Chain A
């Protein structure tokens, strides 16, 4: 009974020490919980600073014309697309992949067909992998720059005109461009069993840096 405990009773000094340590460790726990949340903005900042989160850039014809074409190498660009569950559209690239020289302007088309019996408006969100190639993947024209409204049963071929600039790292030999097409109307998206852009995000402004920042 000299030291620590008898019949479940700790000496007061030990009990205080234990409680104090437990509180400190609880503090560490809370701090690490906060750190988990802090990873989210940190990730955003890192991705933006390094340009590695797959957000594509934008450019125009004049700028592209002024840039050199790197004929010494070719890069494969693959295309894919997905209409999300709230959008009853058929959506696919008409070109699965192509090879190009960095600096060269190319155009591909995506096919969209509205399978519903009503008019629906959608918005495509692009993403490019690998992330490090995204800042070098620049679009001159894209159906993702604006919302697309489709009449019932309407079919449309939509163009993407783009350039991969010569600044692309030589290690990157294949780039994949992917689009997710979202319904922009909440009620309509729920009707088809999915979520809409506005529902998942807070506001449309949030995407501005994705598809309408001039000059990328």
Chain B
């Protein structure tokens, strides 16, 4: 072991600016992600405050629309994606017995693009005419007509995309080239597997978004007319290109969280993962299917019947591999010696809320029903159950699971459980009523609503404030664990299995300089 190299790195600001160390970069990603989460969270409170009662109270409709748009962009591209790239950076080398990421310098670069991109994204809000207000999907004609704030946003998304493409190339190269001898692909931890597949999704989908964004920019400034009906273009083309990226994107967000569940549930059920191979194949099938279902986001544009049927059946097909995964998690717990530490609570909670989001997704997949649900709060409820309920639950699960490994200190278990339960209550209070609002016909992205929707909206607003306040517990727990606390053992969890648990807690700055032997 190379514990003697522990302190051999620059200190202070230059350590973080010039670092090529996967652990440092992982930390940077996570700190960045949670900073963005605070910003995006505050935006959601602006939205929920305005929706406390019908009529226009706090903000003007244009600013409200900017909040819904930028909240989504910040949470997706600034929080969820960087947070999981951070987890990948921290954990994948330690899980596969590699000394670092395959391309450490590029790793530094892919992180340091992010603060600049985020600055652009936020600055857009302060430009004359404000930020983008046409929704995060950037549909033309609004995204072609918007002011200079829209240009800031488009450029920012370009940078965020580049960052995640570079990060993905690094993750693929690390997993394919740097595994310890004896660790075959089918012996890899599921988290590495789901990230490998996610990284391929990213390099296949993000460039398509980059293409769509570039077309928007040239439409805006260089006289092209890809999306301008007046010039022979077609706004519907943008929707096709966007969702060709957009649907794989939702699996980019959720697959790494599935990997986390697959690490944690066996640990606390004290049984190996049920159906490891089927888990790998299910993940790969979800990824492949995600490329042929994009038009289910746009059933109402006037597609031919044959197209609608194709996309409906293809979408429903995804429920099969997804069902395999849920079945495997439940079977892993079946007759296990389960304990319910905080990471396990987040994982089981995540599987549960994801199942709700999955079922509402199936409802939305049904074309004739979708004509009713399209652009209502039902959709908002659905994707928050999936993105918050699976991705963010997975993120919290992962952080509680590995925080003792990273910091060398146990976090406060009691507070961790409080964090879980308060968030779960708040989250469901926020989003469950939105299902009913949507079914009753309340449209999304509108600052005002009909009187009969008031009560459900007030529950939702109370839930939002409750949820976000509960996150203060998380920040307190994380900072406390970084500063000190009960010493964590190397293995941390009784049922833990995997290379990262063979390292000391905290692991040395350079770990696995000598590759471990895998039996």
* Chain A positions near chain B (C-beta within 8 angstroms): 1-8, 14, 17-19, 21-22, 25-26, 28-37, 39-40, 43, 47, 50, 52-54, 84-85, 125, 127, 129-132, 169, 171, 180, 182, 195-197, 199-202, 206-207, 210
Give the chain A neighbours of B20 by CB distance below 8 A: 8
The answer to whether B304 touches A127, judged by C-beta atoms less than 8 angstroms apart, is no
The answer to whether A36 touches B169, judged by C-beta atoms less than 8 angstroms apart, is no
CB within 8 Å of A: which B146-185 residues:
165, 168-170, 172-173, 176-178, 180-181
Give the chain B neighbours of A8 by CB distance below 8 A: 20, 100, 104, 510
How distant is the Cα of A25 from the Cα of B171 in the complex, in angstroms? Answer: 11
Least CB separation from B236: chain A residue? A53
Closest chain B CB from A205 CB (angstroms) = 9
Known contacts: A200-B225, A200-B231. The answer to whether A18 contacts B241 by CB under 8 A is no
Going nearest first, the 9 A-B pairs with the smallest beta carbon separation are A36-B211, A201-B231, A32-B207, A129-B302, A33-B207, A200-B231, A36-B208, A200-B230, A5-B99
The answer to whether B230 touches A201, judged by C-beta atoms less than 8 angstroms apart, is yes
The answer to whether A201 touches B232, judged by C-beta atoms less than 8 angstroms apart, is yes
User: Is B518 part of the contact surface with A, judged by Cβ < 8 Å?
Assistant: no
The listed residue (B177, B181, B232, B234) touching A14 by CB distance below 8 A is: B177
Give the chain B neighbours of A131 by CB distance below 8 A: 302-304
Known contacts: A14-B177, A125-B229, A200-B230. The answer to whether A40 contacts B237 by CB under 8 A is yes
How distant is the Cα of A182 from the Cα of B232 in the complex, in angstroms? Answer: 12
Closest chain A CB from B409 CB (angstroms) = 27
User: Is B212 part of the contact surface with A, judged by Cβ < 8 Å?
Assistant: yes
The answer to whether A4 touches B208, judged by C-beta atoms less than 8 angstroms apart, is no
The answer to whether B208 touches A7, judged by C-beta atoms less than 8 angstroms apart, is no
* Chain B positions near chain A (C-beta within 8 angstroms): 2, 5, 8, 20, 98-100, 102-104, 106, 145, 165, 168-170, 172-173, 176-178, 180-181, 203-212, 215, 223, 225-226, 228-232, 234, 236-237, 240-241, 244-245, 301-305, 510, 512-515
The answer to whether A202 touches B231, judged by C-beta atoms less than 8 angstroms apart, is yes
The listed residue (B103, B172, B207) touching A30 by CB distance below 8 A is: B207
Closest chain B CB from A72 CB (angstroms) = 20
Known contacts: A4-B178, A201-B231. The answer to whether A36 contacts B212 by CB under 8 A is yes
Give the chain B neighbours of A36 by CB distance below 8 A: 207-212, 241, 244-245
How distant is the Cα of A127 from the Cα of B235 in the complex, in angstroms? Answer: 12
How distant is the Cα of A52 from the Cα of B305 in the complex, in angstroms? Answer: 11
Known contacts: A33-B208, A36-B241. The answer to whether A18 contacts B203 by CB under 8 A is no
Known contacts: A4-B515, A201-B228, A207-B232. The answer to whether A39 contacts B237 by CB under 8 A is yes
How distant is the Cα of A195 from the Cα of B204 in the complex, in angstroms? Answer: 35
Give the chain A neighbours of B245 by CB distance below 8 A: 36
Give the chain B neighbours of A18 by CB distance below 8 A: 102-103, 173, 177-178
Supplied contacts A131-B304, A132-B305, 18 more A-B pairs, CB within 8 Å? A2-B515, A5-B100, A5-B510, A22-B106, A22-B169, A29-B203, A32-B205, A34-B211, A36-B211, A39-B211, A50-B304, A53-B234, A84-B230, A130-B303, A195-B228, A200-B228, A201-B232, A210-B232
Closest chain B CB from A44 CB (angstroms) = 8
Give the chain A neighbours of B212 by CB distance below 8 A: 36
The answer to whether B514 touches A182, judged by C-beta atoms less than 8 angstroms apart, is no
The answer to whether B514 touches A1, judged by C-beta atoms less than 8 angstroms apart, is yes
How distant is the Cα of A35 from the Cα of B248 in the complex, in angstroms? Answer: 15
The answer to whether B241 touches A29, judged by C-beta atoms less than 8 angstroms apart, is no
The listed residue (B225, B237, B305) touching A169 by CB distance below 8 A is: B305
Least CB separation from B219: chain A residue? A200
Closest chain B CB from A49 CB (angstroms) = 12
Least CB separation from A53: chain B residue? B234
How distant is the Cα of A8 from the Cα of B35 in the complex, in angstroms? Answer: 29
How distant is the Cα of A49 from the Cα of B245 in the complex, in angstroms? Answer: 25
How distant is the Cα of A135 from the Cα of B145 in the complex, in angstroms? Answer: 30
The answer to whether A201 touches B240, judged by C-beta atoms less than 8 angstroms apart, is no
The answer to whether B106 touches A54, judged by C-beta atoms less than 8 angstroms apart, is no
Give the chain A neighbours of B302 by CB distance below 8 A: 54, 129-132
How distant is the Cα of A207 from the Cα of B237 in the complex, in angstroms? Answer: 17
The listed residue (A32, A85, A127, A129) touching B208 by CB distance below 8 A is: A32
The answer to whether B304 touches A43, judged by C-beta atoms less than 8 angstroms apart, is no
The answer to whether B230 touches A29, judged by C-beta atoms less than 8 angstroms apart, is no
The answer to whether B99 touches A37, judged by C-beta atoms less than 8 angstroms apart, is no
Closest chain A CB from B302 CB (angstroms) = 4
Least CB separation from B202: chain A residue? A29
Least CB separation from B205: chain A residue? A32
The listed residue (B98, B176, B229, B231) touching A21 by CB distance below 8 A is: B176
Closest chain B CB from A124 CB (angstroms) = 11
Closest chain B CB from A35 CB (angstroms) = 7
The answer to whether B181 touches A40, judged by C-beta atoms less than 8 angstroms apart, is no
Known contacts: A26-B169, A40-B237. The answer to whether A206 contacts B177 by CB under 8 A is no
The answer to whether B515 touches A3, judged by C-beta atoms less than 8 angstroms apart, is yes
Q: Which of A33, A127, A129, A207 has the most CB of B within 10 A?
A: A33
A-B contact pairs, 27 of them (CB 8 A): A2-B515, A4-B178, A4-B513, A7-B5, A14-B178, A19-B103, A22-B169, A29-B207, A30-B207, A32-B207, A35-B207, A35-B208, A35-B211, A39-B237, A40-B241, A43-B234, A43-B237, A47-B234, A84-B230, A85-B145, A130-B302, A131-B302, A180-B230, A182-B230, A199-B223, A201-B228, A202-B225
